Amino acid sequence: MVPADDTDGVGNGFVPYRLLTAHCYRRGVVRAAFVALLVAVAVPTAGAAGPLRTAVYAGDRDPLVFERIHDAGATVVRINVSWRHVAPTQPPAGFRPSDPADPAYRWESLDRLIREAAAHELQPLLTVHNAPFWAQKDEPHPTHLGPYPIDSWRPDPAQFGAFARALALRYGGTFQGLPRVRYWEVWNEPNLSQYLSPQEENGHVVSPDVYRSLVNALADAVHGVHADNVVAAGALSAFSFATPYGRLGIAPLLFMRRLLCMSAGSKPKPTCAQRVSFDVWSHHPWTSGGPTHHATEKDDVSLGDLPRMRRLLDAADRAGHIRASRAPELWVTEFEWDTRPPDAHPLTAPLPLQSRWVAEALYQSWKAGVSLFTWLLLWDQLYPTASLQGGLFYRNGEDFRYAQAKPTFSAFRFPFVAYKRDRRIFVWGRTPYGRPGPVAIQQRTAARWVWAGEFKANRYGIFSGLVRGQRIRKAAKAARPTSSGTRYRDVVVSGAPTSYWRLDEREGPTASDTRRRDDGTFVGGVRYGLRGAVPGSTAIGLDGRGRVKLGAVTNVHSVELWVKTRSLTYGDAFSSRDAQHRYVELGMTGGLAHSHDDYPIFAAPIANGQWHHLVYTYDTPTSTGKVYVDGKLSNFAVYPRREGGAEASIGYDATLKLFFKGQVDEVSVYSYPLSLQQVRQHYLASGRRIALGPAPGTMRAVEQRSGISSLPFSLQRPRDRFVLPFGGGGPGT
């Protein structure tokens, strides 16, 4: 078992994944009787609040994917069903589209996904979309809007209904031993032309009418198989996307009003008599800000606009425009924020902020009446070639077995928020899987977690109420550890580096290697004698055109150095890479610490004008590369690399022909991977401390029966800020 205090409060402790899900919360927690005097609020019981279940999208049939989705506290898994891929390319003679046993259908991949979901206690939500060409209206129509595709042109509702019936029968619980599916979503983002078209004709909005016929066809089919099947309509894009070629679609509120025949305004009224059959309205409320951020355009719907969507839905239900056996639910069936790291774009949400936002997004959605919240990405795509880095897990190589949970994982599994209200603190949370039972609220002092209150989560796992926090006293400031350049040098030398350039020269052209193996040469814009990273030492400054040219550096298994910069551009403080992208580089990109050694690793932000200690190591037996920042493991990846080396430089990368801009000090390379203990020892020898544990005053919740704790939640509210809705990666970056 691992003490809770082994994490650093922002998820960088890298506690082994399985231990994260079951560590004992009691260690380091004071539950002395005197603490009860600090809490004058009676233990509250959660009221009759609605449920908030969670789901994750599964795009892979790997059993480990479903295991990790379940581990994330989800009870539902979203699975996309491409009608085009399951149906025959061209219907053969005698094709029976409503018969799940027709041999022309290609069910194998979907069957495996459904079975994996059931095996991992996950209820599938099937999003059915993407019409085969033979089921689209055969008439002349555009295929692209500029570079953007136009797809699924007026799908035939009768054919769609027949396919939906085949689906509902196949996954009705009595067909060839296949599991039952109860949740069905009609199409994906039908307000965008890349998924459903046309959106407009002759200046008139037509896509809601096209979509209404599809919704009614699927609802009739699946309800005809099982009356208690649940049909979700909507699945709308948050934005209509203005482009130089025209809009890609219809704003979601406009689409929704036309579909439901309701007027605009704060009190929507009926505008026609059309009715549509569904049990749930779903939406994809992507945002360019935090959890309460509103969309820029009036009819777009981000997270902060969900109450407007809820009001329109309720008004349409009261007007009798929705055929359903009960009041329709509101679901979020796609959402995420990219994190920095690994996305290095400066307008991506920093990881600690994003994990806070995740908990707040679940809370704000629950307040707006959302009963299911779906996270899009389980595992980061590879940055920068792919666009999405909002996974619950890092991409620690190309094998998901090595994927490490982000703080996002904990915030999604056990969302918890805490806000000051006068002299008290309001708390809200939802336990993993929505389990009922006792929950302890704790507050962090300078040294440990202390008890602040207790709640009983209701049958949906929801708890909320007020507690009285402690008056947190600042810990006495310990004396700064003494250090000197000599002490730091001795510690580094004791590790037997292959080469060690202290960069203490007051003039050029020679950069001395204290190991007397590979003296370097200062070239270009170099400043000497700057205040160094360790007491008594000096450093060099590089202006983006200067470097230290070294000889051939081979067999590099560790690189250690100090950098100080505010630059957000790409730059390598050390590189032995050649023109074929081989071998080692360590530096930064987009302000993040970064290494590349046949595979990229993106680590903590460092471009704040302060000195930072960077170490890259590669262990050949385990094929593991690691990046340490300021004495702590920041990120890692498992990958094979090519051994060797080339002409090296401090401040220049031969692969990209780019220079580093900033200050560099105390560069050393090793023929073996430094251990975590060595990295920490070297960092501490500089006279600095390694910050461990959450900040005093932060709050957390602990599910008492399992010992699972939420992420620490700060009472200091950050301001909303602009972030890129879909991150900064992808083709062309």
Q: Span 481-487, mean pLDDT?
A: 69
C-alpha to C-alpha distance for 710 and 473, rounded to whole angstroms: 23
> Within this chain, do residues 443 and 573 fall inside the same structural domain, yes or no?
no
> Within this chain, do residues 155 and 268 fall inside the same structural domain, yes or no?
yes
| CATH at 170 | 3.20.20
Which residue, of 301, 334, 367, is where some domain finishes?
Answer: 334
Going from the C-alpha of 604 to that of each of 10, 111, 188, the distances in angstroms are 11, 41, 35
More confident residue, 27 or 71: 71
Structure tokens given for 632:
């702590």
Residue type, 655: T
> Within this chain, do residues 584 and 451 fall inside the same structural domain, yes or no?
no
Does some domain include residue 81?
yes
> Within this chain, do residues 538 and 566 fall inside the same structural domain, yes or no?
yes
Does some domain include residue 376?
no
The secondary structure of 714-727 as a DSSP string is -SSPPPP----TT-
For 144, phi then psi, to 5°, come to: -145, 150
Does pLDDT of 451 surpass 70?
Answer: yes
Report the 10 Å Cβ neighbour count for 178: 18
Does some domain include residue 694?
no
C-alpha to C-alpha distance for 317 and 328, rounded to whole angstroms: 8
C-alpha to C-alpha distance for 32 and 325, rounded to whole angstroms: 52
pLDDT at position 579 is 83
Going from the C-alpha of 719 to that of each of 9, 113, 129, 176, 289, the distances in angstroms are 20, 41, 39, 55, 10
- Per-chain mean pLDDT for the chain: 91
Does some domain include residue 701?
no
> Within this chain, do residues 260 and 189 fall inside the same structural domain, yes or no?
yes
User: How many Å is the Cα radius of gyration of the chain?
Assistant: 29
Give me the percent of the chain exceeding a pLDDT of 70: 91
Going from the C-alpha of 594 to that of each of 325, 462, 579, 653, the distances in angstroms are 55, 40, 19, 13
Residue 507 burial (CB < 10 Å; 0-12/13-18/19+)?
A: exposed
Q: What is the pLDDT of residues 321-357, one digit of tens each?
A: 999 999 999 999 999 999 999 999 999 999 999 999 9
Q: Are 278 and 214 in contact (CB under 8 A)?
A: no
Q: What is the pLDDT of residues 252-272, one digit of tens each?
A: 999 999 999 999 998 999 999
Q: Are 134 and 91 in contact (CB under 8 A)?
A: yes
Does some domain include residue 342?
no
Report the 10 Å Cβ neighbour count for 283: 30
Q: How do 183-186 and 661-670 pair as beta strands? A: unpaired
Confidence of residue 564 (pLDDT cuts 50, 70, 90): very high
Does pLDDT of 20 surpass 60?
Answer: no
Q: What is the pLDDT of residues 666-682, one digit of tens each?
A: 999 999 999 999 999 99
> Within this chain, do residues 42 and 65 fall inside the same structural domain, yes or no?
no
C-alpha to C-alpha distance for 662 and 60, rounded to whole angstroms: 43
Residue 473 burial (CB < 10 Å; 0-12/13-18/19+)?
A: exposed
Does pLDDT of 369 surpass 90?
Answer: yes
C-alpha to C-alpha distance for 679 and 669, rounded to whole angstroms: 13
pTM for the whole structure: 0.92
**For 544-623, where are the E strands, in sequence order?**
547-554, 558-564, 571-575, 585-589, 592-596, 600-605, 611-619
Q: What is the pLDDT of residues 81-106, one digit of tens each?
A: 999 999 999 999 999 999 999 999 99
Those residues whose C-beta lies under 8 Å from the C-beta of residue 206, and which sit 6 or more positions away, are: 198, 199, 200
Q: Span 185-209, mean pLDDT?
A: 97
pLDDT at position 61 is 81
Which residue, of 652, 669, 684, is where some domain finishes?
Answer: 684
Does pLDDT of 482 surpass 90?
Answer: no
> Within this chain, do residues 444 and 505 fall inside the same structural domain, yes or no?
no
The secondary structure of 404-439 as a DSSP string is PBPHHHHHHHS-EEEEEETTEEEEEEE-GGG--EEE
Q: Give the range of the structural domain holding residue 652, as residue numbers without chain letter.
A: 499-684
Q: How many domains does the chain have?
A: 3
pLDDT at position 508 is 87
Confidence of residue 580 (pLDDT cuts 50, 70, 90): confident
3-state helix, strand, coil in the chain (%, to 5): 20, 30, 50
Does some domain include residue 513?
yes
Which residue, of 684, 707, 727, is where some domain finishes?
Answer: 684
Q: Between vectors from CA 619 to CA 616 and to CA 623, what angle results, nearest 5°?
A: 110
> Within this chain, do residues 608 and 514 fall inside the same structural domain, yes or no?
yes
> Within this chain, do residues 568 and 654 fall inside the same structural domain, yes or no?
yes
Report the 10 Å Cβ neighbour count for 634: 22
C-alpha to C-alpha distance for 613 and 631, rounded to whole angstroms: 7
Q: Span 447-472, mean pLDDT?
A: 93
| CATH at 537 | 2.60.120.200
pLDDT at position 485 is 66
> Within this chain, do residues 65 and 41 fall inside the same structural domain, yes or no?
no
> Within this chain, do residues 185 and 285 fall inside the same structural domain, yes or no?
yes
Does pLDDT of 575 surpass 50?
Answer: yes
Does pLDDT of 22 surpass 80?
Answer: no
Between the two ends of the chain, the Cα-to-Cα distance in Å is 42
Residue type, 199: Q
Q: What is residue 304's three-state secondary structure? A: helix
Does some domain include residue 733?
no
pLDDT at position 59 is 82
Q: What is the pLDDT of residues 36-47, one digit of tens each?
A: 333 333 333 333
> Within this chain, do residues 446 and 513 fall inside the same structural domain, yes or no?
no
C-alpha to C-alpha distance for 62 and 396, rounded to whole angstroms: 17
Does some domain include residue 494?
no
Q: What is the pLDDT of residues 409-431, one digit of tens each?
A: 999 999 999 999 988 999 999 99
